[in-house]
Amino acid sequence: MIRLGMAGARVRDGADCGPPTRGTKARARFEREADLAARLDHPNIVTVYDRGVDGNRPWIAMQYVPGTDAATVGVLEPLRAVRIVSEVAEALDFAHSRGVLHRDVKPANVLLGATEQGRPERVLLADFGIARLHFDQNPLTQTGTFTATLAYASPEQLAGSAVGPQCDQYSLACTLFVLLTGAPPFAANNPVAVIQSHMSADPPAITLQRPDLPAGLDHVLRRAMAKRPEDQFGSCGEFAGAVRSAFQPVGAEAGFGTSTAARRIAVTMVSPVPAPRPSRTRETRRPDRRAFSGAAPNPAHRVGRCGDNEPRTWALSWPWRGSLH
């Protein structure tokens, strides 16, 4: 149960600890979640302030994030989905550098915080409830109960094998698939079928469901969801960089440089090409520099001026701490 606590925080109650033996294990697991999350000080990770026990109920005081989560927003514009996944990738790489795996990356654990008008939404990774250290052999995480969400689980998690940072990369790729299509890559009513697909099937080509997306995205997702961790990208950030590259950055082409303060992505939406209009002339405009001033994402903003027989291109600018590649 979540209840609001002090200003800027929320308090999460654990389940009643119950009988002494079971209660000791439940309390220890709950405290592990708080301790793991508390060591992760990053702008894209929900902050844990304190923990304790009230009667027989453990609690955690954590950062309150007004807004929603990525599971509730439906199919997203490509630019927004790429930005969200890029920021989650930064959070995951930071956690991995501190020896922590999340192990349950999914849209419901990606919080989208409301911000002041004219600024992009905040993206924060939450719920390290089943997180563990890379080297952790603690029996609290070896209970034999599979706790990750099935639709986003990596093959090594499903097989009960040793897991590393690539398990989070696999889940992040599944998350991007959902944000862009509204459904997980392996959707079935039978859980066994979902497990078998994660274990042995190639992910479906996302461009079959969304032909407007760049063809290169199929290859990027296929690699991030490779069955063997060693065949995946070296990090979540590398995966996110490949996603951005698939969407063809336009900074150099537009003549605006590549400042680290803002990175731009263009998505080309190709419409059926009608017969040309021979009598019509078209003026070509330089892209409006104001489009890259750090304003709120505006998928409707077009670079240049497009006619009916031209691809339509959108551009987005947002604060960026990493590199495009």
At 92, which CATH number? 1.10.510.10
75 with 211, same domain: the answer is: yes
Q: Evaluate whether 84 touches 260 at the Cβ level (below 8 Å).
A: no
CA angle 251, 252, 255 (to 5 degrees): 90
pLDDT surpasses 80 at 143: no
Q: Say yes or no: 218 and 287 in one domain.
A: no
Q: Backbone phi, then psi, for 85, in 5-degree steps?
A: -65, -35
Specify the pLDDT at position 3: 35
Which of 16, 44, 63 corresponds to the end of one domain?
A: 63
If asked whether residues 144 and 39 sit together in one domain, one would say no
130/223 same-domain check: yes
The domain total for the chain is 3
Confidence of residue 134 (pLDDT cuts 50, 70, 90): low
Residues 117, 192, single domain; the answer is yes
Q: Comparing C-alpha atoms, which of 271, 251, 280 is closest to residue 263? A: 251
Known catalytic residue at 104: yes
Question: Are residues 190 and 322 located together in one domain of the fold?
Answer: no
Does residue 233 share a domain with residue 166? yes
Q: Do 180 and 233 fall within a single domain?
A: yes
Considering the domain architecture, whether residues 58 and 79 belong to the same structural domain is answered as no
Grouping H, G, I as helix, E, B as strand and the rest as coil, residue 236 is: helix
Let me know whether 213 and 252 are in one domain.
Answer: no
- Residue 290 domain boundaries: 248-325
pLDDT score recorded for residue 220 = 98
149 and 52 both lie in a single domain: no
pLDDT band at 5 (very low <50, low <70, confident <90, very high): very low
CB atoms within 10 A of CB 76: 21
Q: Are residues 160 and 190 in the same domain?
A: yes
Note the pLDDT tens digit of each residue in 259-289. 333 344 444 443 344 444 544 444 444 444 3
Catalytic residue among 104, 127, 168, 218: 104
